[in-house]
Chain A
Amino acid sequence: MSNQQKHWEKTRSLLFITLAIWFVFSIGIFLFGAEMNKVTGPFGYPWTYWFTCQGSLGAFVILIFWFANRQEKIDEEFGFSEREDE
């Protein structure tokens, strides 16, 4: 397998992990919205309410930065990261 294929392979697995986490916070937890809302969560808000106001939104912000860092590492590993002068 060429260097580029290996790079793409890793990039693709990172995508699947990212999308799996995305799925949990955007869709997965809201399958149980009614049940989850009966429990008190962070700062005293009901869990589901908190996720819609802050939790999921904040998780997405962190997820994107985490994804960007991981992808940069993968690019560096295979020598595909951009040089400053490009």
Chain B
Amino acid sequence: MKGNFIDNLPKVYGIYTGGFIGFIIIMAIAEQMGMTAKAIGIAFVAFTVFIYALIGWLSRTAQADAYYVAGRQVPTVFNGMATAADWMSGASFVAMAGGIYFKGYGYMALLVGWTGGYVLVASLLAPYLRKFGCYTVPDFIGTRYGGNLARFSAVVVLTVASFTYVTAQINATGTIASVALDIPFQYAVYIGLISILLCSMLGGMRGVTWTQVAQYIVLIIAYLLPVFWISNKIGAGFFPHFMLADEVARIGELEQQFGFVKNAAADLKSVPKGLAGITKAHSAVNATPWAFISLALAMMMGTASLPHVMMRYFTTPSVKAARKSVGWSLFFIFLLYSSAPMLATLSKLSLIDPNLPTGIIGKTFAEVEAIDWYQNWNQANLMFISDFNGNGTLELNEFFMGGKAVVLATPEIAGLPYVISGLVAAGGMAAAMSTADGLILAIANAISHDVYYKIIDPKAETAKRLLVARVLLVVIGFAGATIAAMEIQGILGSVIWAFDFAMSGLFFPLVLGVWWKRANRQGAIAGMLGGLAAGTWYLVWVRTGGSGFLGITQLTFGIFGSAVSLVLMVVVSLMTTEPDKATQKMVDDVRVPSGKTILGKSH
């Protein structure tokens, strides 16, 4: 079955995609026949989660290399899809278009940062770490630099970064489950968590790989279908990516016409928390070069340091395949990221253009309040209007919306059938689940492989190691869900922090481990712990009223952390003795693709 399964992948996922499209059509027919919106939402989420769980169960394994690196036989293109799903989280799916809608250019630094980072992954790290043959990222650090302290420091950085990230994803899963299934958020979080664990617990990396491919297919259909449909429906062009220039220009005109009126602080108090108005130009450059570049740079270096992404490239059959696979990953990510600004444009134009039937700016309050979708989303706390100047008509500055509404509500605003909204909910769920799975697995694998097996009990048998790995998976999942249920930080904020933490502690120790032979254990430990500490200190300092310096904000604190990490690593390495001959030989071997991996097939 196994070799057979790999050969048959295109067929298996072809049938799966056809089946999913068939399911959408059946739902569309059911809607026409009177199925309620609520039932459609439940059907979409339940059906897709059931499929993922089934894949998770079919991928169960008792072998270490299947559990940790999917047996290293995932073909290039499929690994690209899995990485894209692993990468694109609830934040990318649900929040990104909203961010672009509200903040325009300054926010689009994230688009550049979250794609440009893959150039660093492909050229600096992925092929070399694949050649190394490690199971986890700390496995590389621990073997390259030697010693338990180096290994443990890497586990610490990995855990801090990934855990910050995973709470946001479980939060997103819970939000979508609570909307689609109509249950309170506190319970929905745990339903989301159980769905996540069903994918990863039995099959480890193998299970996660094949569910992530399935999740990518769902999420990309769910994102692209509405964008194309809306664009065609409002007559903006049949291929939005190439045809929205007039619409972008039209938004600019309307912004001029309406003006950005600043609301009084007292008026803004009445606006529900989390909702915002349009206060920034759509396509104009509204950020300083450094604000834009520093955010993009932080996200790029963070991308190259996040273990859940890096470990996807451990699963390819060869070094060559790892490189190509990074290209495919970015291609699949590109499909969604290049569509987000188009969705933001279509959404904004539908709402503010008085010439379109859906436009609400300039209508009277009574008219807007009578619209069905306005009532629904107002009830869901994602839309709000208030007549600040008392003239009875809605102005641009009197309309407020939640960031999530851009993706979740636009299909309904544009008058698409409810089946599309159900599809979008399933897509958001797939995006959040796939990322959460990758992250929980990264943490659990690092602790079970690097702390338990390599440091505590090196003689443990495979069965026991995998048992520990699975118990940790559940424990970390529940810890994440518990914190997610408290809703401390918004989804997007936590995601950006995770990148900064990862780059503070891991970027230079990883890169220099391959590219600088002289880098040694002492330097790496100083770089990891010093970088993480410096970054964390800066974040706390800015959060508690510190002024910051060089324009580094709480969203880009990783730039400071990684700079400290680099300096410490170089200085401490040069002050201490150079690595021994065996380590230097190891680095030489990593640099060529041919020959055996540094670490054995099973270790």
Residues of A that sit less than 8 Å from B by CB: 4, 7-8, 11, 14-15, 18-19, 22, 25-27, 30-34, 37, 43-46, 48-49, 51-54, 56-58, 60-61, 63-65, 67-68, 71-72, 75, 79-83, 86
Q: Is there an interface contact between B108 and A22, defined as CB atoms closer than 8 Å?
A: no
CA distance A71 to B300 in the complex (A): 22
Is the CB of B289 closer than 8 A to any CB of chain A?
A: yes
Is the CB of B347 closer than 8 A to any CB of chain A?
A: no
Given that A44-B246, A82-B318 are known contacts, is A64 also in contact with B111, CB under 8 Å in the complex?
no
Q: Is there an interface contact between B119 and A18, defined as CB atoms closer than 8 Å?
A: yes
Q: How large is the interface on B (under 10, 10 to 19, 20 to 34, 35 or more residues)?
A: 35 or more
CA distance A73 to B318 in the complex (A): 16
Q: Is there an interface contact between A80 and B111, defined as CB atoms closer than 8 Å?
A: no
CA distance A72 to B603 in the complex (A): 28
Residues on the A chain within 8 Å of B111, using CB:
52-53, 57
Residues on the B chain within 8 Å of A11, using CB:
591
Residues on the A chain within 8 Å of B245, using CB:
43-45
Is the CB of B124 closer than 8 A to any CB of chain A?
A: yes
Residues on the B chain within 8 Å of A14, using CB:
123
**Which one of B115, B124, B244, B284 lies within 8 Å of A60 (CB-CB)?**
B115
Name A83's closest neighbour in chain B (CB-CB).
B594
> Which of the segments B326-334, B357-365, B442-450, B553-561 contacts the partner chain?
B326-334
Label chain A's interface by main secondary structure: helix
Q: Is there an interface contact between B248 and A49, defined as CB atoms closer than 8 Å?
A: yes
Q: Is there an interface contact between B289 and A33, defined as CB atoms closer than 8 Å?
A: yes
Q: Is there an interface contact between A48 and B285, defined as CB atoms closer than 8 Å?
A: yes
Residues on the B chain within 8 Å of A68, using CB:
122, 320, 323-324, 326-327
Residue from B123, B241, B283 whose CB has the most chain A CB atoms within 10 Å: B123
Chain A nearest CB from B592 CB (Å) reads: 4
Q: Is there an interface contact between A22 and B292, defined as CB atoms closer than 8 Å?
A: no
Mask: chain B, 40-68; 1 = CB below 8 Å from A; 0 = not: 00000000000000000000000000000
Name A8's closest neighbour in chain B (CB-CB).
B591
Q: Is there an interface contact between A58 and B334, defined as CB atoms closer than 8 Å?
A: yes
Chain A nearest CB from B569 CB (Å) reads: 19
Given that A49-B283, A80-B593, A82-B593 are known contacts, is A64 also in contact with B115, CB under 8 Å in the complex?
no
Q: Is there an interface contact between B594 and A54, defined as CB atoms closer than 8 Å?
A: no
CA distance A68 to B119 in the complex (A): 10
Q: Is there an interface contact between B105 and A48, defined as CB atoms closer than 8 Å?
A: yes
Is the CB of B492 closer than 8 A to any CB of chain A?
A: no
CA distance A7 to B592 in the complex (A): 8
Taking A27-B297, A33-B285, A52-B111 as given, write out 6 further A-B residue pairs in contact, using a Cβ cutoff of 8 Å, ordered by the A residue number. Answer: A7-B591, A67-B119, A68-B326, A75-B593, A80-B594, A86-B594
Q: Is there an interface contact between B296 and A53, defined as CB atoms closer than 8 Å?
A: no
List 12 interface pairs A-B (beta carbons < 8 Å), by A numbering: A15-B124, A37-B284, A45-B283, A48-B285, A52-B105, A57-B337, A61-B115, A64-B323, A64-B330, A67-B123, A79-B594, A80-B593
Name B592's closest neighbour in chain A (CB-CB).
A80
**Which one of B241, B243, B331 lies within 8 Å of A54 (CB-CB)?**
B241
CA distance A67 to B133 in the complex (A): 22
Q: Is there an interface contact between A64 and B592, defined as CB atoms closer than 8 Å?
A: no
Residues on the A chain within 8 Å of B300, using CB:
26
Is the CB of B567 closer than 8 A to any CB of chain A?
A: no
CA distance A69 to B45 in the complex (A): 41
Q: Is there an interface contact between B116 and A26, defined as CB atoms closer than 8 Å?
A: yes
**Which one of A4, A26, A46, A61 lies within 8 Å of B588 (CB-CB)?**
A4
Q: Is there an interface contact between A57 and B112, defined as CB atoms closer than 8 Å?
A: yes
Chain B nearest CB from A24 CB (Å) reads: 11
Chain A nearest CB from B582 CB (Å) reads: 17
In the complex, which residues 335-360 of chain B have their Cβ closer than 8 Å to any Cβ of chain A?
337-338, 341-342
Q: Is there an interface contact between B248 and A56, defined as CB atoms closer than 8 Å?
A: no
Chain A nearest CB from B521 CB (Å) reads: 23
CA distance A79 to B595 in the complex (A): 11
Residues on the A chain within 8 Å of B330, using CB:
60-61, 64
**Which one of A7, A22, A53 lies within 8 Å of B341 (CB-CB)?**
A53
Residues on the B chain within 8 Å of A61, using CB:
115, 327, 330-331, 334
**Which one of B108, B122, B592 lies within 8 Å of A67 (CB-CB)?**
B122
CA distance A38 to B112 in the complex (A): 20
Is the CB of B163 closer than 8 A to any CB of chain A?
A: no
Mask: chain B, 283-302; 1 = CB below 8 Å from A; 0 = not: 11101010011001100100
Q: Is there an interface contact between A56 and B318, defined as CB atoms closer than 8 Å?
A: no
The 7 residue pairs across chains A and B that have the minimum distance between CB atoms: A44-B245, A26-B116, A52-B108, A68-B323, A64-B327, A80-B592, A53-B341
Q: Is there an interface contact between A64 and B297, defined as CB atoms closer than 8 Å?
A: no
Is the CB of B93 closer than 8 A to any CB of chain A?
A: no
Q: Is there an interface contact between A72 and B320, defined as CB atoms closer than 8 Å?
A: yes
Given that A52-B341, A81-B594 are known contacts, is A67 also in contact with B323, CB under 8 Å in the complex?
yes
Chain B nearest CB from A58 CB (Å) reads: 7
Q: Is there an interface contact between B285 and A37, defined as CB atoms closer than 8 Å?
A: yes
Name A22's closest neighbour in chain B (CB-CB).
B119
Q: Is there an interface contact between B338 and A60, defined as CB atoms closer than 8 Å?
A: no
Residues on the A chain within 8 Å of B319, using CB:
82
Residues on the B chain within 8 Å of A71, using CB:
127, 323
Residues on the B chain within 8 Å of A64, using CB:
118-119, 122, 323, 326-327, 330
